[in-house]
Chains A and B, each alone.
Chain A
Amino acid sequence: MKLEALRAKLSYQTVLLGSVTLLTSGALALASRTTEADIRAAHERDLQQSLAQVLPGKYDNDLLKDTVMIAGADGEVTVYRARRAGQVEAVVFQTVGHGYAGAITCIMGVTRDGQLLGVRVLSHKETPGLGDKIEPAKSRWIESFSGKSLGDPPVDQWAVKKDGGVFDQFSGATITPRGVVRAVKGGLELFAREKPRMLGEMKGAKT
């Protein structure tokens, strides 16, 4: 058969490999372009939902537009401000912890007094069935942060119980909750350090 003779030729194989790679890259580029906008929209929807989860109550501004960039430990952090009658009542920002399998991205809402409104995990790669109990859908653990602040519990007890702190760990997964607790603690410390800039009250702040 003619095709069989052709298939044995080195030049045919080169062209074949080249065209397969070209076609698949083309398909991927096309798919990437078609899905890009939808993926971004989906992530924005996710972000909005997460913002709402860590910000109970009503605020009268568009959080996604009222932002300020603050220099954190791992680069710039976007801080979303929630206002009521012009005054910033609470801020929401992301904080990153290190879990068992890479970064755990959390989002946290903090009142202007430094009290946690809530914490949610945005993305992680922890072990399904073990470390993923940091997701609210799988466990209520993440709710244990609500109402806490840097003084309550005391700073040295901002750790999982195994490390002498107040937060539960999961059986079989200590590294994951430890990472989240450290991330939240780091976030609160960032808030304490950068409070005037986060609230946009640099000068003339109340003493």
Chain B
Amino acid sequence: MSYARIVKDGLWDNNVVFSQMLALCPTLAVTGSATNGLGMGLATTAVLLASNVLISAIRHLVSAEVRIPVYIVLIATLVTLVDMGLNAWAHELYKVLGLFIALIVVNCAILGRAESFASKSPVLESAADGLMMGVGFTAALVAIGGVREILGSGTLFANAHLLLGPHFAFLELTLIPDYRGYLLMILPPGGFLAVGFLLAGKRILDRRRAARAEPEAALPQPAAG
């Protein structure tokens, strides 16, 4: 599989949230703000990259019959290692991300990539796939979180300095001053609404693109007149 394909799949065509419709549980749970979406996305990307590489490296040793328990044990171990490592050596970051890390274990997108890509592909391609799927997931979470945060509390990337350090405080915007907030968007229904509308928007874009591509394909037949 070409790397261009892997990049396109991860970012758009086969996006974890908007095309595979996987990992909706953590997606809906943490996207109350763009910053939370970004944190969850980054932590997931790291685990996805590591699990794809590991599973691809041992793919010849694993029997098809027991592959699922093997993958799950490996992924759970990776997540726990990341959790302990961050807690010990990057404690400030852990205090911000710690909430999300345990949620990664239940992210079926990671098992999904292990099963559908890493178990059949060489290590480098699997690494690229893990990275791009992770970036696509992060972009989706930031988009959903951004929509919910703007509509729900009138800000964007609030508290980003807690996640990325004080240098990124400039990201924190108050888009609608004196906004009293629209609580529904922050609460779980807002998550479903935001995912639904963004999903519909992506489908419309995809359909338009397909419609534009079709006449071109039909171009060789000269139109009468």
Q: How extensive is the interface on chain A, given as a class?
A: 20 to 34
For B159, give the chain A residue with the smallest CB separation. A138
In the assembled complex, which residues on chain B have CB atoms less than 8 Å from the CB atom of A137? Answer: 159, 162
With A16-B70, A38-B89, A39-B87 in contact, do A172 and B63 touch (Cβ < 8 Å)? no
Chain A 7-47 against B: per-residue CB contact (8 Å), 1 yes, 0 no?
11000110011001100100110011011001100100110
In the assembled complex, which residues on chain A have CB atoms less than 8 Å from the CB atom of B164? Answer: none
* Contact B64 A27, beta carbon cutoff 8 Å: no
User: How far is the CB of A9 from the nearest CB of chain B, in Å?
Assistant: 8
In the assembled complex, which residues on chain B have CB atoms less than 8 Å from the CB atom of A204? Answer: none
User: How far is the CB of A81 from the nearest CB of chain B, in Å?
Assistant: 27
With A7-B64, A12-B63, A137-B159 in contact, do A39 and B84 touch (Cβ < 8 Å)? yes
Chain B 47-85 against A: per-residue CB contact (8 Å), 1 yes, 0 no?
000000000000011111110011001101100110011
For B99, give the chain A residue with the smallest CB separation. A128
B33 within 8 A of A: yes
A31 to B74, CA, bound (A): 15
A174 to B99, CA, bound (A): 20
Interface SS, B side:
helix
With A127-B32, A128-B30 in contact, do A17 and B66 touch (Cβ < 8 Å)? yes
* Contact A31 B61, beta carbon cutoff 8 Å: no
For A35, give the chain B residue with the smallest CB separation. B88
Q: How extensive is the interface on chain B, given as a class?
A: 20 to 34
* Contact A27 B77, beta carbon cutoff 8 Å: yes
For A24, give the chain B residue with the smallest CB separation. B77
A139 to B70, CA, bound (A): 44
In the assembled complex, which residues on chain B have CB atoms less than 8 Å from the CB atom of A12? Answer: 63
* Contact A172 B84, beta carbon cutoff 8 Å: no
With A16-B70, A17-B69, A39-B84 in contact, do A7 and B63 touch (Cβ < 8 Å)? yes
A129 within 8 A of B: yes
In the assembled complex, which residues on chain B have CB atoms less than 8 Å from the CB atom of A69? Answer: none
In the assembled complex, which residues on chain B have CB atoms less than 8 Å from the CB atom of A138? Answer: 159
Chain A 168-184 against B: per-residue CB contact (8 Å), 1 yes, 0 no?
00011000000000000
With contacts defined as CB atoms under 8 Å apart, how many contacts are there between chain A and chain B in the complex? 76
In the assembled complex, which residues on chain A have CB atoms less than 8 Å from the CB atom of B21? Answer: none
In the assembled complex, which residues on chain B have CB atoms less than 8 Å from the CB atom of A205? Answer: none
In the assembled complex, which residues on chain A have CB atoms less than 8 Å from the CB atom of B30? Answer: 128
B150 within 8 A of A: no
B187 within 8 A of A: yes
With A13-B63, A171-B181 in contact, do A24 and B73 touch (Cβ < 8 Å)? yes
B203 within 8 A of A: no
* Contact A39 B187, beta carbon cutoff 8 Å: no
A202 within 8 A of B: no
A58 to B87, CA, bound (A): 30
* Contact A27 B81, beta carbon cutoff 8 Å: yes
A78 to B32, CA, bound (A): 36
A161 within 8 A of B: no
B200 within 8 A of A: no
B36 within 8 A of A: yes
* Contact B70 A17, beta carbon cutoff 8 Å: yes
> Considering the complex of A and B, which 8 residue pairs feature the smallest CB-CB distances, nearest first?
A129-B32, A38-B88, A35-B88, A42-B91, A24-B77, A7-B63, A35-B84, A13-B66
What are 5 residue pairs bridging A and B, where the CB atoms are less than 8 Å apart in the complex?
A20-B73, A39-B87, A129-B33, A129-B186, A137-B162
Q: Which residues of B contact A (CB under 8 A)?
A: 30, 32-33, 36, 60-66, 69-70, 73-74, 76-77, 80-81, 84-85, 87-89, 91, 99, 149, 159, 162, 181, 183, 186-187
Beyond A16-B61, A16-B62, A35-B84, list 14 extra A-B contacts (CB 8 Å). A3-B60, A7-B62, A7-B63, A13-B65, A16-B63, A17-B69, A21-B73, A31-B85, A34-B88, A35-B89, A125-B99, A129-B32, A138-B159, A172-B186
